[in-house]
Chain A
């Protein structure tokens, strides 16, 4: 036993030395790019292309992060809080910018570098990479949700949430679900945020000035937004498992035919194309529904930005590599192979992308109109507050919940309360 302990101790002490030696073997440095697993392999391809193009300056190694945004963030912040020097480039969900920048975990993009990765980028995605007037990341992919439906069941696409639910309620049972992300995770906050913005209010005001940030939630619009959740969650067209549903479930509900509508990312299109091609001609899409009739909806804004860790020992190479990874060519590959919407506006006019996204114009318009989630360093706390007060969806009570949500979000912004 003692001998085993000694061996273990030696191994533990020696391991970091071995890792430290591994880097500079072939002249160039190895850059570790932490990013979510991208099933089509387009990230891997981009990493390979950029490594080859660097002429030996660096080699990008993919370090896969978990599936959900919450899990990805947890792994990254644990490493960053521990000043992990093996993190160079991070594929950051658009909602992390303020938190990571505020904590001092990112190197800002400045000067010519900043110009290079901002030129021609859509305004919404670019804004998600900025915080307090500085650029903290390079937008890599954008994303938004569309309303997906079956043309044979709904010939005229509805424009408002009430119309969507009513149209579904008129359909036969078993084929009438309205599939939304109702699980207790970030996807639920995405839904809440877009409903609030579509109703004309928001979660937080002065988000980027921590000392002044407060819950917004104007009374009447907020109640109107929450009423949509309540109506859907208590309607027979809600999935009985709504309170556990993630994007995977809502996509599956479309594929299985149980859902008549789904609010979801373009992955739905790719899934139907690849797994149920016979259904593809029946698949319809339209803009995210309105809360107030006639008032344009504010769809969700997702996507990934590339940030450079403050603890990276190779910032120069990391900035160059990140700029390469988000190049127009690599965004095109991501769009065509992986269905990842570009952040460079001109990307949507690329013939190959137009073929991959028959709904490309709607996508670009939705991203332009999208409502970002609050850019506060305490964003993850705000999101927890939303989930705590408003989950499960069927428990939402607009009159009671609006003041409570306001109170809980103020607590979250102060980061002093238990959530």
Chain B
């Protein structure tokens, strides 16, 4: 759609930065428009819907209700129950993914024969569509179909959570492992060897050398997985559809929107979930701001480096 703009004639070399800035804006405009269309517009529309009583099945009753939907959501016990279920899944799944992912990354770092094959095999669960993985684990947890046991895992609350969480962990640990493996590359072998020669124990080397080196990546994985997990939908939808107290907040929003066509209530739940994700992200970035800065460790700026806007 957009061809690269023709190279400006050399005479424009002395243009003021402001003109360059305008070009930059023009160049990014299409992307900004698309982002606004697919990101900001739906979010804004959802906020607008959440302030209305609007059920597609009762169009005549449509009207502005202010924060009424939010009061209904926050006053409903089911919202808090679902929030609790979401928290349980998130806390356990993300912890397990980090621990297992780290263990796998450490093993891979040692260098194995056929490392490429191991990498590929490791990524396989991540490449499988979540719905398919959810069905596979559901079958594994169903008596008569299962090769595991005759227990009806999805018949009780805590075993249902176990199946949901196991599916999530099985599917996402590989990604965590690979990201952490990449992060481990930032900890030079020589540093570890030096520490060893200096008489540091394995634990000390892990705590004092490796962990600080990989901390920024670890935090990014933690943030990414937490945000993902707070919005967990497909696994629960397939395996229990929220039965036995495993309903999550995103499933609740789906029920109001897709099942009841209650756009007002459903949007209110969605907006609250959006705010929760935003709060987690912002809070996380603030608490760990020093560590995250490490990720973008800036190159020292040369005083006479040319202004990037003046490259023409």
Contact = CB atoms under 8 A, between A and B. Distances in A.
Interface of A: 2-3, 5-6, 70, 74, 77-78, 81, 99, 102-104, 183-185, 239-244, 252, 256, 377-378, 380-381, 384, 388, 391-392, 415-419
Contacts of B269: 418
From A384, A388, A417, A418, name the one whose CB has the most chain B CB atoms within 10 angstroms. A418
Interface of B: 1-2, 30, 53, 55-59, 72-73, 76, 78-79, 142-144, 151-152, 154-156, 240-244, 252, 255-256, 258-262, 265, 269
A77 B155 CA distance: 30
Across the A-B interface, give the 3 residue pairs with the lowest CB-CB distance, nearest first: A241-B152, A184-B243, A418-B76
Contacts of A77: 56-57, 261
Contacts of B152: 239-241, 244
A74 B57 CA distance: 13
| Majority secondary structure of chain A interface residues (helix, strand, loop or mixed) | helix
From B1, B72, B73, B242, name the one whose CB has the most chain A CB atoms within 10 angstroms. B1
Nearest to A81: B56
Contact of B155 (A103, A185, A241, A415): A241
B259 A384 contact: yes
A391 to B, nearest CB: 6
A418 B259 CA distance: 12
Contacts of A256: 144
A323 to B, nearest CB: 27
A391 B243 CA distance: 7
B59 A3 contact: no
A104 B151 CA distance: 47
B52 to A, nearest CB: 12
A2 B261 CA distance: 36
A419 B255 contact: yes
B241 A377 contact: no
A418 B72 contact: yes
B155 A2 contact: no
A384 B58 contact: no
Nearest to A383: B259
A252 B155 contact: no
Contacts of A391: 243
Given A391-B243, A419-B78, 14 more contacts: A6-B1, A77-B57, A81-B261, A184-B244, A240-B152, A241-B154, A244-B243, A244-B244, A384-B255, A384-B260, A392-B244, A417-B265, A418-B256, A418-B265
A183 B261 CA distance: 23
B87 to A, nearest CB: 18
